Structure 1
């Protein structure tokens, strides 16, 4: 009876949120129609999904393309624009080029340069307050994933001023409500080659009460336009380039090895409720493979040669490509484990990052568990693990399927060695005593951990963290 009540309530929610145009609305639904809908919803919630959707921001790529952003705002008829960035990028050329273009085209704007790198619920709310007070009708995010994710959240909560903060946050931490309000135009200008956030409907942040990362995932919050200007990557410090590159690597590997879309459950009772992360699918594979091939050719060159325009341009595009892939397929255990790793940082402060607070950069926290994860998931889809290793340059001609997990694990480990990544969680300040807390921080991430091709128990997660205390 309780399940029936929940489904009826859900149908009411969907009905109120659905399109009201004549072609799609269903005025005067009869009692028989309602019973049919209820039966369909009950069946759908008990079965696996059967479809996937591909959604992506419009992408504009090219050296120097940021200079067009003022014209974009004029074309969008924006009257007052909020430009968001962080204190570091605020001093660099990407913001200057953006501001110059807006000024040249007579666009009224204000700059918010207080975005926190690795945002928290508190920093998102501060950005939201600025956005609400400013009454902006368009947004521009200039920076890395933290800036773009903060701007997405500010746009959402500014567009729905009655919403409470946890309304749109992923369950089980938040309510995960569908987004039914109209958001303002948002242009994202990525300055790192990692997150792919310019393509996705995902905003990630640290939820400090639980010492874990969570986020908002809904296609409605994805940027209207991503301006991918590789000239912005030429100022990236070496460690920033390396760590953001590992985010690209794991985006591609995790989306390529995720559970297939038609094995994910439950099937949504309405397409409005189909999640942004839907499982590996034929289209997401195209983007993941592209990114892996680029990583093989350009990753090392981009990290150690800051003036290698070809390498850094290629990595910038690979970040966007991987973003299209994982933004629809999803990621799994590497990212699920990374959230408590970065959320529970003690005193680690890497070179090339702000020193105003301890930080484990997102890409670093993600790759720390990758060797252990792919050893664990290898038996579930060995052919995909071998194919991924081969695209990254490993000879698998005589490989056994039983060794697929270890082979991909060793491949990732080799990249970590070349990029001089710290030797495991121990080097970041964690000990065996921290593992129970890291496991507890991973458990609420079932939005992504359930996309792993192999189910995992608490004991499995503890073993993965223990195996990640040292990597080499």
Structure 2
């Protein structure tokens, strides 16, 4: 298996052919990912630093199928629920079920509770999960867990519920840890997780985050007014139960926002810096990050999820009750989760965190919350037309492949036009879904751009995976270009 696709190699060669690799003499964007040409000893820095040479694939076990959260018993004729049997098989004695106040009233949660009761599994419910969790809401869940004890975590809901359960699990098993110990650097210490955590079963009720497959958990850091997170393979659920029936009740705007998260998980992971250009290699395999850069295996999952989303999400916009399209979207979310959970995402996600975190008053339609909210998928999508104009110069071939997936005829498109072509294709797709008209629709003005840039710069976990490294001036231009979408 070749570690880097031929198209990627060809485009890199075009960019670097005949050029000195010293940043002092390079005008091309590739210079932004290369070290200075000489060290004090006169040796090439590239010869002294071992680039990454491997990638790892990690994912939760996945159980997929319509009605998989329940099973009809031929013998007893009444419905038994599989998740209760899973808990019983694991000999669980102290289960905590994490959900939010809305999901707590709906069929998926009721199914899980009935299943636990039918299988005589003791449980406690934590139904205070916050949509778009914060450090405060995480700490509340952590305290609840420490008070009640737990030998099995079950999360029912969207990414917010699953991420909250992941955080509660982590700090329940590290009672001595300060909250910032595991938070991604440079905001936190980014310490590795060396303990085996308590089993977590994740049951998604939205087709978006793919959190049931990944070792990442995201939250708003209120003091800094920015989103950040924790990323480590140890956070992965032991099992993701993916049942299309569980997303039937989601409002249209929730389905669209969640689906856009899938879309850009796919595009960003496919266009991320190749894993063997992300260096240096770790001294210990335990230090290899969960987000490693694009790689041949993640590419397979990401491109498949991309095509499924482009086909299915517009169908849901026309008919929010289209069950076939919904089933395809929750499967695409899982595919994309496996892809980006190992390759990572980059600028759209990195820039989305301050867009959400600095929001003062905007509440997206059909989101029943008591606080301002720009849904994660919306905040990710809104900068995408500008982002991919910026990143296309590093690998125009791959950007054109994405444009082709949107239905663009790329047969006569010049490589130099790849960014413009993909940007237009994405913009058309977003407009057809009825997205807000740029970040100005959230109340942001040009005077807010410095704060948005400041909130993006610390997001090293994702921004460093951009195929073109973005500095403050680059980010400013991208935010400027995202003020209006139409």
Q: TM-score, normalised by structure 2?
A: 0.87
Greater alpha carbon shift after TM alignment, 175-184 vs 249-258: 175-184
Q: Does 1:309 align with 2:323?
A: yes
- Cα distance in 1, alignment partners of residues 294 and 260 from structure 2: 20
**Aligned residue in 2 for 1:59:** 62
**Aligned residue in 1 for 2:131:** 117
- Cα distance in 2, alignment partners of residues 273 and 44 from structure 1: 21
- Is the Cα contact below 8 Å between 1:44 and 1:268 reproduced in 2? no
- The equivalences for 1:65-214 within 5 A come to 65-67=68-70, 68-214=82-228
Secondary structure in structure 2 of the residue aligned to 1:140: strand
- Cα distance in 2, alignment partners of residues 44 and 212 from structure 1: 37
- The equivalences for 1:249-260 within 5 A come to 249-260=263-274
Instruction: List gaps (5 residues or longer) in structure 2.
Output: 1-44, 71-81
CA shift for structure 1 position 306: 2.6
CA shift for structure 1 position 302: 2.1
CA shift for structure 1 position 471: 1.2
- Is the Cα contact below 8 Å between 2:213 and 2:337 reproduced in 1? yes
- Cα distance in 2, alignment partners of residues 242 and 330 from structure 1: 22
- Cα distance in 1, alignment partners of residues 89 and 482 from structure 2: 50
Q: Write the deviation string for residues 150-191 of structure 1: whole angstroms up to 9, x where unpaired.
A: 100000100111111001000001111110112111000011
Q: Write the deviation string for residues 340-386 of structure 1: whole angstroms up to 9, x where unpaired.
A: 00000111111111231110000000001100000000111000000
**Aligned residue in 1 for 2:50:** 47
- Cα distance in 1, alignment partners of residues 369 and 461 from structure 2: 32
Secondary structure in structure 2 of the residue aligned to 1:406: helix
- Cα distance in 2, alignment partners of residues 360 and 296 from structure 1: 22
- Cα distance in 1, alignment partners of residues 57 and 92 from structure 2: 28
- Cα distance in 2, alignment partners of residues 337 and 209 from structure 1: 18
**Aligned residue in 2 for 1:227:** 241
- Cα distance in 2, alignment partners of residues 44 and 70 from structure 1: 55
CA shift for structure 1 position 307: 2.3
Q: Write the deviation string for residues 87-129 of structure 1: whole angstroms up to 9, x where unpaired.
A: 1111111101111111111110010000001111110000001
**Aligned residue in 2 for 1:326:** 340
**Aligned residue in 2 for 1:10:** none
Instruction: List gaps (5 residues or longer) in structure 1.
Output: 1-41
- Cα distance in 1, alignment partners of residues 163 and 383 from structure 2: 23
Secondary structure in structure 2 of the residue aligned to 1:398: coil
Q: Write the deviation string for residues 306-325 of structure 1: whole angstroms up to 9, x where unpaired.
A: 32111000000000100000
2:402 is aligned, of 388, 393, 403, to 388
CA shift for structure 1 position 405: 0.8
- Cα distance in 2, alignment partners of residues 174 and 66 from structure 1: 37
Structure holding more helix per residue: 1
Greater alpha carbon shift after TM alignment, 395-404 vs 273-282: 395-404
CA shift for structure 1 position 303: 3.0
Secondary structure in structure 2 of the residue aligned to 1:379: coil
Q: Write the deviation string for residues 264-296 of structure 1: whole angstroms up to 9, x where unpaired.
A: 012110100000000000000000110111012
**Aligned residue in 2 for 1:401:** 415
- The equivalences for 1:401-440 within 5 A come to 401-440=415-454
- Is the Cα contact below 8 Å between 2:173 and 2:197 reproduced in 1? yes
- Cα distance in 1, alignment partners of residues 146 and 155 from structure 2: 16
- Is the Cα contact below 8 Å between 1:44 and 1:269 reproduced in 2? no
CA shift for structure 1 position 408: 1.1
- Is the Cα contact below 8 Å between 1:120 and 1:205 reproduced in 2? yes
Runs of 4+ with >6 A deviation: 42-45
- Cα distance in 2, alignment partners of residues 297 and 442 from structure 1: 31
- Cα distance in 1, alignment partners of residues 423 and 140 from structure 2: 40
Q: Does 1:456 align with 2:470?
A: yes
Greater alpha carbon shift after TM alignment, 297-306 vs 399-408: 297-306
How many residue pairs get matched? Answer: 431
Secondary structure in structure 2 of the residue aligned to 1:226: strand
**Aligned residue in 2 for 1:20:** none
Q: Does 1:351 align with 2:354?
A: no
Q: Does 1:279 align with 2:293?
A: yes
- Is the Cα contact below 8 Å between 2:263 and 2:310 reproduced in 1? no
Q: Write the deviation string for residues 214-235 of structure 1: whole angstroms up to 9, x where unpaired.
A: 1000000110000001011111
**RMSD, matched Cα:** 1.3
- Cα distance in 1, alignment partners of residues 407 and 329 from structure 2: 17
Q: Does 1:267 align with 2:270?
A: no
Q: Write the deviation string for residues 391-427 of structure 1: whole angstroms up to 9, x where unpaired.
A: 1222212211111111111111111111000010001
CA shift for structure 1 position 43: 10
- Cα distance in 2, alignment partners of residues 150 and 245 from structure 1: 21
- Cα distance in 2, alignment partners of residues 282 and 202 from structure 1: 21
- Cα distance in 2, alignment partners of residues 433 and 307 from structure 1: 41
CA shift for structure 1 position 44: 11
- Is the Cα contact below 8 Å between 1:207 and 1:214 reproduced in 2? yes
CA shift for structure 1 position 45: 8.8
- Is the Cα contact below 8 Å between 1:167 and 1:176 reproduced in 2? yes
